[in-house]
Every structure is written in structure tokens, then in C-alpha cells.
């Protein structure tokens, strides 16, 4: 019962997928209308050819020399003209469909990327990057190929089949009865096979996404992979992923490819039947040789497109499976909208409070338990604690990447959930342990968060972060292009650049999540002093493992199991048998 319900749900989603694709294409309805006219004209002109062929043959009378060459040349000339017009319109159709598919795919990629920017952080926590990239590249490319090629063939099939059927009826309604047997058999075979192959194409797209996600992860972690000598193990895992993807691809293509030969056999059977019954009708004086010739040609035009449609049906199944993955992403719930009447956070002072906040990434597992604290404006607040205590989760809550399950967060005595996310996040400058730099010049990377930043402002921030002298030693200075997330500089230098970028912002609050973990102690102390100078009047949250770097913090929060178990200054916390003291002394044993 459950499998039947699942199958029915998938069938409904396939229907929705077709409708959604149709909506994209209807944005270019006038081009589609012109494409339909070209399809109609191209096929109708092509369908006149067999009729003229029959007339040419009819101009040949039994007996030697009984040929009306005038009639033959007359009909042949018209045939050539019609075929030429058909070819021109067919070319125009191809150009139109390529243009439409290009625009649809362009719009679809824009929508997918725009959707990715609107999704909550939680979506990226549970989906592989490679799988997401696979949807925006491989899956959309598959849709593009289907729109530009398969759709044209389907339109041609419909018009050609209907036109050929009409012409055959005008020639011999009795002979058309052959298709009353062969066409239903072809339809039944096609429906049966495609019904079995549709899930296989969904599986193929999913397995390709899994393999791409695995490859992306392994490429990103190459250094760790080699350091631990896990090449053979990783190769084994990739072989499994690759084998699963290849087998899914093979099974989908193998069973999908059986449609064409089966339908082709039925069509050839129909031709044999037409030949037999056509000969009987000729002997009975019901048909001429010319009519039989025209009917045979029309029967090929009737059955040929059906065979082609069966051959491309597997490609259409693949395209629908790919489109389904794309539309599932587009249907993901975006980050919740701002509350009705949400205010812009302006004239920020930096007074931040958490009041009885509880939170868990999963409803059944609470990480933050009844947490309360206050960070007064201009204070340096350090957050320390063992791994998994909930330190980074606090930052996610402050930035509203997630909202608390209960309790409230206040900024300047205003509830954070009553402020617009954009204005709240712009009030913070943020430097993470995992640095992020994009392909571009150093100047472009440093000024990323502040549009219109002058060269002087950028250099001042770089000096404060103790990275200016390094930049000036580079051949192109601030115009040096960083490649592939900054792989042409060291990780410590990358972190200094991200710190300089944060210093450049006009934010009243700063978050540093292990931001100096990749620089030496002396440089870290210099940065701390420089930041203290630059961050006067600003609230700063620092997550640190090296407790020696936050000894001068105005206030230290010790977090354990999602609760602030201790708080105070360094001197106060070192005064007794505290958790903070144990953590501090453990680093110097």
C-alpha cells in the first residue's frame, strides 16, 4: 500500500513538473507560436511530397514508352519546391527552439541561484555542495537538451502523424484499418516500459548528484586526505559511488532503449500488412499502383515519427527527472520572511541580550538551555568552553541564521525577531575560522562588504590587521588576483585579509569565531591590540580556544552543555576552583 501511495505521489509530481516547465516556456509564447507555425508549415509541405510521388508514378502507364514526361516533370518540380520550403521552415524552427531553450535555461538558472541565496543556512547544513552544483549545472543542461531537441521532435511527430493519417484515409480508408491493430499495441508497449523506467531516471539523477557531492568533498579535503594516506580508501569509496552512478545510468538507458526497437518492430509489421492488403485491393481494382506507393510512403511518415518518439522518450524521462530535482529545490521553503511591521535596525549602540533562550537544531535535541546574558555596548565579550558546548550556536542565533525555540534576543532593547534580518546582520561584522575569499583582486576582497570603500580606507584596515606590508611585497600589490579561494597565499594570510575586511565595515558589533587560529601568537596579540583601538565604542564577541588571547576581555562567558555556567573577568574567574581556571591551566600544562 505504501509503495502504491509513493508511486501515485511521484506521478502527481511528474505532472506538476510538466506544468512548471510549461510556465517557463509560456513566458515566450509569441516565439512558441511562431515555432508552432514553422512546425505546422514544415510538416504539411513535407506531407504533400508522397501525394505528388503517387501522381508521378500514376503518369507511368503499363507498356513500353507509356510515360507522360511532362506530367512527371511538373509534379517533380512542385515536389522539389515544397521540400525546399519545408527545409527552410524546419531550419527556422530549430533556431527558434534553440533560442527559447536558451532563454528558459538562463531564467531557470537565475531562479535557482536566487533561490539558493534566499534559503536558510540550515539547508546548506544538510545538503552536499556537489549535489546542489549538480542541480544547477548537469540537471539544467539535461533540461536544455530536451527542450531544444526532443520537444521539436514531439511537435513534428504529432503534426506528421495526424497529417499522414488524414492523407491515408483519403487514399484508402480500408487500408488504414491496419493501424487499428498496430498503433494500440505500440501505445501499450510504450506505456508499460516507460512506467517502469521513470523511477530509474529519477535514481540516475540522484546517484549523479551523490557522486558529484562526494567528488567535491574529496577535492576540498585533498591535503587532509594525503596527510592521512587515505588515497586507496578514498578511491574505494569513489569506486562504489561511481559504480552506483554508472549502474543507475546503465539501467535507465538500457530499459529506456528497449522502447524504440519494440515500436520499430510493430511499425515494420504494419508495413508488411499494408503490402499484403494493398496488393489484394489492387487485384480487386480498388487501388492503383500510384495510390499504393503514396500510401506506403505515408505509412512510413505515420509510423516513423512514432518510432522516433519512442526512441526519445527515454531522454524525455531523463529531462523530467532532472527538472523534478531542480523544481524540488525551487520549492524549498525560503528563510522565513521578516515579521509584519519589522523595523530597520538603525543608530546601533551594540547592547545585546539573550533572555532565557533555548534552542536545538532538531526538535528532540536541545543544545542551548535557558541561556541568559548581556553584552553592554563597546564591551569585548569572550565566549569559551569545551568543544560542542554551543559556542558557535550562539553566533548563529545572534546573526539570526536560526531563531530560538523559546526566549528572546534583544538588540538595543528591541527584539531581534521584530527587526529586519538584513539590517540586523549588517550591524555585525563577522570573521569565521573557515575563511572565505573569492576570485578577484585583494582590493576587491577587502572592500567586499563596504561598497565604494576608498583605497585609503582599505589600506588603513590592512595596516591595522598587520597585512599591509605583505600585500605591498606582492608584485601587483592590492591589485594582486587571488585564485581559487586564495590558494596562492597562506591560510594565516587569508585570515588576516578576512579580519581586515571586517575592520573596514561600519558595523557596531563584531563577531570573531576562532578568527586568529591560523596566525602566530605575536601577530595575534598585535591584531588584538589593533582591534581594541579600532573597536572602541563597538561590541565584540570573540570565540576563542586559546584562552591567553582573551585575558583582557571585558567579560568572559563560560559555556558548557548550552548553558552559561560561569561569567566574569579573567581575574575573577581565575580566583577559585572554576571550570575556566581548569581550561586555562590545561593549556599550559
Per residue in 161-205, pLDDT (tens digit) is 777 777 777 777 777 777 777 777 777 777 777 667 767 777 777
Angle made by CA atoms 170, 157, 30, in degrees to the nearest 5: 110
Residue 3: the pLDDT is 45
> Which of 26-35, 342-351, 546-555 is least confident?
546-555
| CA nearest to 467, candidates 436, 440, 443 | 443
Listed in sequence order, the DSSP H helices in 474-569 are 491-504, 521-534
414 vs 497: CA distance, rounded Å: 33
Q: Confidence band (pLDDT; 50, 70, 90) for 324? A: confident
- Quick check: 361 pLDDT over 70? yes
433 vs 287: CA distance, rounded Å: 85
pLDDT single digits (tens) 544-561: 777 777 777 888 888 887
Residue 518: the pLDDT is 60
Over residues 475-493, the mean pLDDT reads: 75
pLDDT single digits (tens) 300-322: 777 666 666 666 666 777 778 78
Averaged pLDDT score across all residues of the chain? 77
Over residues 441-464, the mean pLDDT reads: 84
155 vs 86: CA distance, rounded Å: 15
Residue 227: the pLDDT is 57
Q: Taking every pair of C-alpha atoms in the chain, what is the biggest distance, in angstroms?
A: 124
Over residues 572-581, the mean pLDDT reads: 83
> Which of 23-27, 288-292, 515-519 is least confident?
515-519
Residue 572: the pLDDT is 86
Over residues 83-87, the mean pLDDT reads: 81
Residue 279: the pLDDT is 73
Q: Which SS3 state, helix, strand or coil, does residue 359 take?
A: strand
- Quick check: 6 pLDDT over 50? no
CA dihedral 144, 149, 153, 155 (to 10 degrees): 50
Over residues 403-420, the mean pLDDT reads: 89
Spatial contact of 535 and 509, defined as CB atoms under 8 Å apart: no
Q: Distance of CA 358 to CAs 194, 328, 559, Å?
A: 51, 31, 14
Over residues 232-239, the mean pLDDT reads: 80
Residue 77: how many CA atoms within 13 Å on its side-chain side?
6
Cell of 505: 565595515
Residue 5: the pLDDT is 43
- Quick check: 10 pLDDT over 80? no
CA dihedral 572, 575, 579, 583 (to 10 degrees): 90
Q: Distance of CA 472 to CAs 50, 442, 477, 479, 488, Å?
A: 78, 11, 5, 10, 15
> Which of 108-122, 383-397, 499-513, 521-535 is least confident?
521-535
- Quick check: 354 pLDDT over 80? yes
> Which of 276-290, 427-441, 445-459 is least confident?
276-290
Residue 553: the pLDDT is 82
% pLDDT > 90, the chain: 0
- Quick check: 20 pLDDT over 60? yes
Cell of 466: 598587520
Residue 447: the pLDDT is 85
Residue 1: the pLDDT is 40
Over residues 145-161, the mean pLDDT reads: 72
Residue 401: the pLDDT is 86
Amino acid at each position: 500500500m505504501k509503495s502504491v501511495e509513493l508511486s501515485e505521489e511521484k506521478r502527481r509530481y511528474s505532472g506538476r513538473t510538466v506544468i512548471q516547465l510549461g510556465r517557463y516556456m509560456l513566458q515566450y509564447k509569441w516565439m512558441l507560436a511562431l515555432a508552432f507555425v514553422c512546425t505546422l508549415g514544415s510538416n504539411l509541405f513535407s506531407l504533400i511530397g508522397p501525394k505528388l510521388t503517387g501522381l508521378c508514378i500514376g503518369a507511368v502507364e503499363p507498356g513500353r514508352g507509356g510515360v507522360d514526361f511532362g506530367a512527371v516533370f511538373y509534379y517533380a518540380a512542385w515536389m522539389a519546391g515544397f521540400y525546399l520550403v519545408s527545409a527552410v521552415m524546419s531550419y527556422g524552427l530549430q533556431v527558434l527552439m534553440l533560442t527559447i531553450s536558451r532563454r528558459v535555461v538562463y531564467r531557470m538558472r537565475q531562479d535557482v541561484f536566487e533561490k539558493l541565496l534566499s534559503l536558510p543556512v540550515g539547508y546548506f547544513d544538510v545538503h552536499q555542495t556537489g549535489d546542489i552544483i549538480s542541480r544547477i549545472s548537469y540537471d539544467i543542461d539535461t533540461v536544455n537538451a530536451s527542450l531544444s531537441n526532443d520537444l521539436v521532435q514531439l511537435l513534428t511527430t504529432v503534426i506528421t502523424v495526424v497529417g499522414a493519417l488524414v492523407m491515408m484515409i483519403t487514399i484508402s480508408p480500408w487500408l488504414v484499418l491496419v493501424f487499428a491493430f498496430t498503433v494500440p499495441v505500440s501505445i501499450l508497449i510504450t506505456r508499460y516500459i516507460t512506467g517502469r523506467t521513470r523511477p530509474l531516471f529519477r535514481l540516475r539523477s540522484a546517484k549523479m548528484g551523490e557522486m558529484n557531492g562526494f567528488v567535491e568533498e574529496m577535492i576540498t579535503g585533498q591535503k587532509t586526505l594525503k596527510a592521512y594516506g587515505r588515497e586507496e580508501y578514498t578511491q574505494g569509496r569513489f569506486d562504489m559511488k561511481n559504480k552506483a552512478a554508472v549502474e543507475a545510468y546503465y539501467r535507465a538507458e538500457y530499459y529506456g532503449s528497449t522502447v524504440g526497437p519494440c515500436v520499430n518492430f510493430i511499425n515494420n509489421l504494419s508495413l508488411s500488412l499494408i503490402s499484403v492488403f494493398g496488393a489484394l485491393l489492387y487485384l480487386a481494382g480498388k487501388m492503383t499502383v500510384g495510390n499504393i506507393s503514396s500510401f506506403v510512403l505515408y505509412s512510413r511518415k505515420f509510423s516513423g515519427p512514432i518510432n522516433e518518439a519512442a526512441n526519445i522518450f527515454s531522454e524525455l524521462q531523463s529531462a523530467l527527472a532532472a527538472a523534478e530535482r531542480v523544481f524540488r529545490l525551487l520549492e524549498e521553503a525560503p528563510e522565513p520572511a521578516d515579521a509584519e511591521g519589522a523595523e530597520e535596525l538603525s543608530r546601533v549602540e551594540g547592547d545585546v541580550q539573550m533572555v532565557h533562550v533555548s534552542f536545538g537544531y532538531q526538535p528532540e535535541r536541545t543544545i542551548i538551555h535557558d541561556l541568559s546574558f548581556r553584552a553592554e555596548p563597546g564591551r569585548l565579550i569572550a565566549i569559551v568552553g569545551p568543544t560542542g558546548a554551543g559556542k558557535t550556536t550562539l553566533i548563529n542565533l545572534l546573526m539570526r541564521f536560526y531563531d530560538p525555540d523559546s526566549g528572546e534576543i534583544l538588540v538595543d532593547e528591541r527584539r531581534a525577531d521584530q527587526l529586519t534580518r538584513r539590517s540586523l546582520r549588517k550591524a555585525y561584522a563577522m570573521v569565521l575560522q573557515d575563511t572565505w575569499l573569492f576570485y578577484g583582486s585583494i582590493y576587491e576582497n577587502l572592500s567586499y562588504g563596504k561598497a565604494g570603500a576608498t583605497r585609503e580606507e582599505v589600506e588603513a584596515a590592512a595596516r591595522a590587521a598587520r597585512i599591509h606590508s605583505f600585500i605591498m611585497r606582492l608584485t601587483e600589490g592590492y591589485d594582486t588576483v587571488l585564485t581559487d579561494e586564495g590558494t596562492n597565499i597562506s591560510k594565516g594570510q587569508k585570515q588576516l585579509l578576512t579580519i581586515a575586511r571586517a575592520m573596514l565595515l561600519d558595523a557596531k558589533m563584531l563577531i570573531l569565531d576562532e578568527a586568529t587560529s591560523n596566525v602566530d601568537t605575536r601577530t595575534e596579540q598585535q591584531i588584538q591590540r589593533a582591534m581594541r583601538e579600532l573597536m572602541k565604542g563597538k561590541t565584540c564577541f570573540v570565540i576563542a580556544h586559546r584562552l591567553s588571547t582573551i585575558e583582557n576581555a571585558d567579560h568572559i562567558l563560560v559555556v558548557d552543555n548550552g548553558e552559561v555556567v560561569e561569567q566574569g573577568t579573567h581575574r575573577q574567574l581565575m580566583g577559585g576552583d572554576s571550570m575556566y581556571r581548569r581550561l586555562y591551566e590545561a593549556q599550559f600544562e
